[in-house]
Structure 1
Amino acid sequence: MSRAFLLKDIALQAGLSLATVDRVLNDRPGVREHTVRRVKQAIGELEQQRDQVGLSGRKFVLDVVMEAPARFSEAVRQGLEQAMPSLQPAIFRARYHLAETRNVETTVGIIDALQRRGSNGVFLKAPDVTEVRAAAARLVAAGIPVVTLVTDLPDTGRQAYVGMDNRAAGETAAYLLGEWLGGGPARILVTISSNRFRGEEEREIGFRQALRERYPGLGIVEVSEGHGLDRDTGRLACDALRQHSDIAGVYSIGGGNLAVIEAFAALGRPCRAFVGHDLDADNIALLRAGRISAVLHHDLGQDMRSACLHVMRAHGLLPKSPVSGMANIQIITPFNLPQMVAWR
């Protein structure tokens, strides 16, 4: 196995002892498979962050804990890797704990393990449920700053929330769809990955309220618990389309957009307007093909840089800042894709 990095750096990245890492690297018996995977993952993460290894300055080990579709987790990873070099001479390294779905007990176990392993900061996208809030509060009480991403966990003592104003995003989607659909009469399919995430709930509340006030001729059909995964979200969309013949547009809060578009096509139904979130690989392709109307986007690279700065503030290396972590909402259509994604 790779010896390109010091044993102590691999151990720090993996959150394991020097002796354990040494046993893995030397293929000694008695090492569990998940421990071997953790060491391999740590080496892979160090390779991605190699450009920072030679920098002088304070070192921070961050833990990114997310429950999200892989396409979004990858976008967050890219945003963080883009942001970290801009923070030199401070050196940031990231350990990733990612899953498309996981139960609450597993999420709590990961968070509590970080308290034992040690971390300089945790970036957290997790359900807003009692057990997770309590685990986040335990991290904060142990002196580990927590920054919530995209969906917030208030009343946990977290250092900051980083992401867009979710309620405003929902209101923006209502305005776009209301204008494109001419105020109705029609219904809009609203897809939510899970009702457990506060950020998605806030988007839905903003959307529903703005639609009711400005476009009373438009109704809503809501589906949830597809977890942003194509198979499950597509099935839910098909069921909704079969039950409601007047669905004319989509507000996709939780992802799985390709599957929703294909559900319309499979049933021979037109989708007159479609608004989604985030410039992930799927949405870039759908925008280019003209299959969705607009994406509500925020700069994840800037978000992740802001999250890192919040960690530095928590450790007293930067002055406190009253500036909100809310990101600007950008409306991206097939005609104004940013240059940064033009080559993808």
Structure 2
Amino acid sequence: MSHPFLVKDIALQAGVSIATVDRVLHGRGGVRQHTIRRIEQAIRELETQSSQVGLSGRKFILDVVMEAPVRFSEAVRAALEAEMPSLQPAVFRARYHLAEMRAATNTVSLLDAIARRGSNGIFLKAPDVPEVAAAVDRIVQSGIPVVTLVTDLPNSRRLAYVGVDNRAAGETAAYLIGAWLGERRADVLVTLSSNRFRGEEEREIGFRWAVREHFPDLGIVDVSEGHGIDRATGELVSTALTNHPDIAAVYSIGGGNASIAQAFAELKRPCRVFIGHDLDVDNLELLRSRRISAVLHHDLRQDMRTACIHIMRAQGALPKPVAPGASNIQIITPFNLPV
């Protein structure tokens, strides 16, 4: 297995012993297939982060644990790796544990395994359920800081939350939809990936409050548990459109927007206003083709930088001034797409 990295660096990245890496690299057998795959992944991660190899400074090993559609987790990966070189002379390495769907028990097992092998910090996007919060508390007690991304675990001992004010995001979506629909009576389809995520719940609460206070003629139809995955989300939306002929707008909280637009098109139903979240690959294309009205976006690179700074402060590498607030919400339309 050809590579330019030191065995000790691969072992640190993979979270295994130097002897285990040596056995795998020299094909001596006696290593579980899962461990071999983890070492191969570690080498790939080092390759994508190679711009920092050789830099002097303190080294931080991060574990990124996310339950999210591939398009979003890859956007987070790209943002983090774009920001890591700017943090020099500190050197950051990230180990990724990404899944589109993961049972809470598996998330707990993964977090406990990270705690056993050691880490300088964990970036976590996970459901707000008691067993995950308890796992975070154990990890923090062991000395590993945890920063939650996009969706919070406020009842845990996590170090910080990084992301937008989700209630404000939902209120913003309601304002845009209500203003664009005007006086027309209509139903709005609100789609969530899952009811287990605190951030999505807060967006829906903010949306419902703003509609009730300012646009009482709008009805709300909600669907969830599509997990932001195109096929499952598209099927849920098609059913909702069939059952609710007055749906004329969409607030997509949980993603899968290409499948939502396709469901409207296949049923020959007009969508007068469509608001989504995040400038991922799908949403960029939907904006360019005018199939989505606006995207509520926040700067993922700045979020990743903020999260890294939280870890550096927790590890004593930086002083601890007042923590930054929520990320700014940007309204992106087809006419102000960033270059």
The separation in 2 between residues aligned to 1:44 and 1:251, in whole angstroms, is 37
The separation in 2 between residues aligned to 1:300 and 1:100, in whole angstroms, is 19
The separation in 2 between residues aligned to 1:76 and 1:222, in whole angstroms, is 27
Number of the residue aligned with 2:327 = 327
Q: Please list, as runs of the form range in 1=range in 2, the aligned pairs for 1:193-212 lying within 5 A after superposition.
A: 193-212=193-212
Once the two structures are superposed, what CA deviation does each residue of 1:149-182 show, in whole Å capped at 9, x if it has no partner? 0000113111110000000000000000001111
The reply on whether 1:106 has 2:106 as its aligned counterpart is yes
Cα RMSD for the two superposed structures: 0.7
The separation in 2 between residues aligned to 1:323 and 1:338, in whole angstroms, is 28
Moved more, 54-63 or 25-34: 25-34
1:36 to partner: Cα distance: 1.0
1:324 to partner: Cα distance: 3.0
The separation in 2 between residues aligned to 1:224 and 1:13, in whole angstroms, is 36
Number of the residue aligned with 1:342 = none
Q: Please list, as runs of the form range in 1=range in 2, the aligned pairs for 1:108-123 lying within 5 A after superposition.
A: 108-123=108-123
Number of the residue aligned with 1:69 = 69
Number of the residue aligned with 2:59 = 59
Contact 1:2 1:43 in 2 (8 A): no
Contact 1:161 1:325 in 2 (8 A): no
Moved more, 19-28 or 117-126: 19-28
Contact 1:274 1:293 in 2 (8 A): yes
Contact 1:183 1:216 in 2 (8 A): no
The separation in 2 between residues aligned to 1:2 and 1:15, in whole angstroms, is 20
The separation in 1 between residues aligned to 2:48 and 2:154, in whole angstroms, is 32
Gaps of 5+ in 1: 340-344
Contact 1:186 1:217 in 2 (8 A): yes
1:32 to partner: Cα distance: 1.5
Q: Please list every run of at least 4 consecutive aligned residues from structure 1 whose deviation after the TM superposition is greater than 3 angstroms.
A: none
Number of the residue aligned with 2:136 = 136
Contact 2:8 2:18 in 1 (8 A): yes
Once the two structures are superposed, what CA deviation does each residue of 1:105-130 show, in whole Å capped at 9, x if it has no partner? 11001100011010000000000000
Q: Amino acid of the residue matched to residue 217 of structure 1? A: D
1:325 to partner: Cα distance: 3.9
1:184 to partner: Cα distance: 3.3
TM-score, normalising length from structure 1? 0.98
Q: Amino acid of the residue matched to residue 193 of structure 1? A: S
Once the two structures are superposed, what CA deviation does each residue of 1:74-131 show, in whole Å capped at 9, x if it has no partner? 0000110011011000000000000000101110011000110100000000000000
Number of the residue aligned with 1:223 = 223
Contact 1:184 1:215 in 2 (8 A): no
Moved more, 227-236 or 31-40: 31-40
SS of the residue corresponding to residue 163 of structure 2 reads strand
Number of the residue aligned with 1:48 = 48
Number of the residue aligned with 2:27 = 27
1:8 to partner: Cα distance: 0.2
The separation in 1 between residues aligned to 2:146 and 2:126, in whole angstroms, is 12
Once the two structures are superposed, what CA deviation does each residue of 1:180-213 show, in whole Å capped at 9, x if it has no partner? 1114310000000000000000000000000110
Q: Please list, as runs of the form range in 1=range in 2, the aligned pairs for 1:156-171 lying within 5 A after superposition.
A: 156-171=156-171
Number of the residue aligned with 1:173 = 173
Number of the residue aligned with 2:13 = 13
Number of the residue aligned with 2:264 = 264
The separation in 2 between residues aligned to 1:140 and 1:209, in whole angstroms, is 35
Moved more, 314-323 or 186-195: 314-323
Aligned pair count reads 339
SS of the residue corresponding to residue 220 of structure 1 reads strand
Contact 1:274 1:292 in 2 (8 A): yes
The separation in 1 between residues aligned to 2:136 and 2:116, in whole angstroms, is 13
Contact 1:145 1:311 in 2 (8 A): yes
The reply on whether 1:242 has 2:235 as its aligned counterpart is no
Once the two structures are superposed, what CA deviation does each residue of 1:221-244 show, in whole Å capped at 9, x if it has no partner? 000000000000000000000000
Moved more, 151-160 or 195-204: 151-160
SS of the residue corresponding to residue 326 of structure 1 reads coil
Once the two structures are superposed, what CA deviation does each residue of 1:127-148 show, in whole Å capped at 9, x if it has no partner? 0000000001111101100000
The reply on whether 1:290 has 2:290 as its aligned counterpart is yes
Q: Amino acid of the residue matched to residue 211 of structure 1? A: V
Contact 2:188 2:221 in 1 (8 A): yes
The separation in 1 between residues aligned to 2:249 and 2:148, in whole angstroms, is 31
The separation in 2 between residues aligned to 1:154 and 1:250, in whole angstroms, is 28
Q: Amino acid of the residue matched to residue 304 of structure 1? A: M
Contact 2:3 2:43 in 1 (8 A): no
The separation in 2 between residues aligned to 1:32 and 1:2, in whole angstroms, is 20
The separation in 2 between residues aligned to 1:121 and 1:233, in whole angstroms, is 33
Contact 1:160 1:325 in 2 (8 A): no
